[in-house]
């Protein structure tokens, strides 16, 4: 119960933190440290396969563009082949291998960013090699930017780094190797800038959507866990006596039937110990029900501590009566357990009112044992335990009596 209360407090705090994140301004693209860490794990889980497949597709497209080298720039074929396949392709393939083995979100993001940047730089290098005034390889740069901003789920800050780095490098290369700067370079540069701006907007909105989706799914998950805890608590309350915290009579009946069938299957004995507090009515009438309830809650802990094995159960059967189930326990062992319980109650030295015939509280116990049979009901064992308890009461109380069926 204490653990459930702690969990509920944590859930309430988490929900409050998430609602605070949802209320942030539109341009906010970060969370508090704890939530950001969870988001990165969420993003990695949902996007890792897309990113891995995209990089394989990207490398394939990069290799396929070698056909353009052969068809259009045959005069520079050796230089282009060396650059594309000897220098860059091994780096890209190594990057793919590392990406497929990456275990963290930031590793994939960084690797992907550098691979896109390397591919873009190699295309700029090809533009420099062929010195084509029409800049046909310029289309290759737009493909890289498309991958960075849209196709692969690269997060905004990484896509931003790749996109603007390539623009700067492209214009820097044009200044160094093209004199004077022609209209194609100016036109391409402006096109790249606007392509970047559109890509930035797309990337930002995508990540913003992913972050909001994460927060909303987190809220749903928390509320689902809270509902599970509430349902578990309700189920527990329906099975537990609120005063003694032992199983209630309803749960006891279902438990005994289940263990009865198991005992029939394995041909093992079941013992019941029925317990009644001696002179409890006198105690209640003299000191009041509140004091009586306190005593019942106190002695119940002893009963609970004696039923720790699987197949054992301590239950409040009604009023000051208790029933203990012991699966696989023969009569001799059950009688010893009953005597131990009786002595532990005496050791508590709970004073009785003067009106009572005794000085301290005592209990009477009836033990009943049988090896369950298919044609015998478990109610017969309960009845036998009740008869044994009645015998203990009749013989003077504060004693154990046993019946074997």
For 40-96, the pLDDT digits (tens) are 888 888 787 788 788 888 888 889 888 888 888 888 889 999 999 999 999 999 988
Statement to judge: residues 116 and 258 lie in one domain: no
Q: What is the average per-residue pLDDT within 308-315? A: 85
State the Cα–Cα distance between residues 116 and 104, nearest whole angstrom: 19
Residues 25 and 73 in one domain: yes
Are 89 and 198 part of one and the same domain?
A: yes
Give per-residue pLDDT as tens, 241-276.
888 888 888 888 888 898 999 999 889 999 999 999
Same domain for 281 and 184: no
Assigned token pair, 133 = 């005034």
What is the pLDDT, as a whole number, of residue 83? Answer: 93
**Which residue matches tokens 């009943």?**
368
DSSP, collapsed to helix, strand or coil, labels residue 282 as helix
Query: What is the rounded average pLDDT for all residues in the chain?
Result: 84
Number of structural domains the chain divides into: 2
Residues 168 and 38 in one domain: yes
> Which range scores top for mean pLDDT: 65-74, 114-123, 358-367?
114-123
Residue 309 reports pLDDT greater than 60: yes
| Res 161 pLDDT > 90 | yes
Range of the domain at 161: 2-223
Instruction: With respect to residue 235, please indicate whether it lies within any of the assigned structural domains.
Output: no
Strand partners, 273: 324, 367
241 found inside a domain: no
Name the token pair of 138. Answer: 């310029």
List, in order, residues 6 or more apart from 21 with CB less than 8 Å away.
31, 32, 35, 215
DSSP E strands in 300-375: the ranges are 312-318, 321-327, 363-370
**What's the count of helices (H) and strands (E) in the chain, helices before strands?**
14, 5
For residue 323, give both structure tokens.
């029933």
Percent helix, strand, coil in the chain, to 5, is 70, 10, 20
Q: Is 122 in the same domain as 256?
A: no
pLDDT of residue 87: 94
DSSP state of 359: S
User: Is 172:181 a contact under the CB 8 Å cutoff?
Assistant: no
- For the segment 162-185, the average pLDDT, to the nearest whole number, is 80
The answer to whether residues 215 and 67 belong to one domain is: yes
Arithmetic mean of pLDDT, 171-187: 75
Query: Of 33-37, 147-151, 187-191, 235-239, which range is least confident?
Result: 235-239
């Amino acid at each position: 119960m204490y653990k459930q209360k702690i969990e509920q407090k944590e859930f309430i705090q988490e929900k409050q933190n998430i609602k605070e994140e949802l209320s942030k301004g539109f341009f906010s693209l970060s969370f508090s440290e704890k939530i950001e860490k969870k988001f990165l794990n969420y993003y990695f889980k949902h996007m890792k396969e897309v990113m891995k497949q995209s990089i394989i597709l990207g490398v394939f497209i990069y290799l396929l563009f070698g056909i353009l080298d052969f068809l259009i720039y045959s005069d520079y074929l050796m230089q282009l082949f060396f650059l594309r396949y000897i220098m860059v392709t091994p780096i890209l393939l190594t990057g793919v291998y590392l990406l497929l083995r990456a275990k963290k979100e930031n590793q994939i993001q960084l690797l992907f960013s550098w691979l896109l940047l390397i591919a873009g730089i190699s295309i700029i290098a090809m533009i420099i090699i062929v010195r084509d005034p029409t800049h046909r390889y310029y289309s290759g740069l737009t493909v890289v930017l498309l991958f960075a901003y849209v196709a692969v789920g690269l997060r905004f800050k990484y896509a931003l780094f790749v996109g603007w780095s390539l623009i700067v490098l492209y214009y820097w290369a044009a200044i160094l190797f093209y004199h004077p700067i022609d209209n194609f370079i100016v036109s391409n540069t402006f096109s790249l800038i606007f392509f970047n701006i559109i890509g930035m907007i797309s990337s930002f909105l995508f990540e913003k959507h992913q972050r909001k989706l994460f927060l909303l799914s987190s809220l749903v998950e928390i509320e689902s866990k809270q509902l599970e805890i509430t349902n578990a608590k309700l189920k527990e309350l329906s099975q537990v006596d609120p005063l003694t915290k032992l199983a209630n009579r309803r749960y006891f009946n279902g438990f005994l039937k289940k263990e009865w069938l198991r005992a029939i299957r394995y041909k093992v004995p079941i013992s019941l110990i029925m317990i009644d507090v001696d002179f409890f009515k006198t105690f209640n009438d003299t000191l009041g029900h509140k004091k009586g309830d306190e005593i019942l809650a106190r002695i119940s802990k002893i009963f609970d501590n004696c039923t720790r094995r699987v197949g054992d159960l301590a239950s409040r059967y009604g009023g000051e009566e208790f029933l203990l189930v012991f699966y696989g326990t023969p009569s001799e062992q059950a009688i010893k357990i009953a005597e131990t319980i009786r002595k532990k109650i005496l050791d508590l030295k709970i004073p009785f009112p003067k009106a009572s015939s005794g000085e301290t509280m005592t209990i009477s116990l009836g033990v009943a044992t049988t090896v369950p049979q298919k044609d015998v009901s478990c109610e017969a064992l309960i009845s036998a335990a009740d008869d044994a308890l009645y015998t203990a009461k009749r013989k003077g109380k504060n004693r154990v009596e046993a019946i074997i069926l």
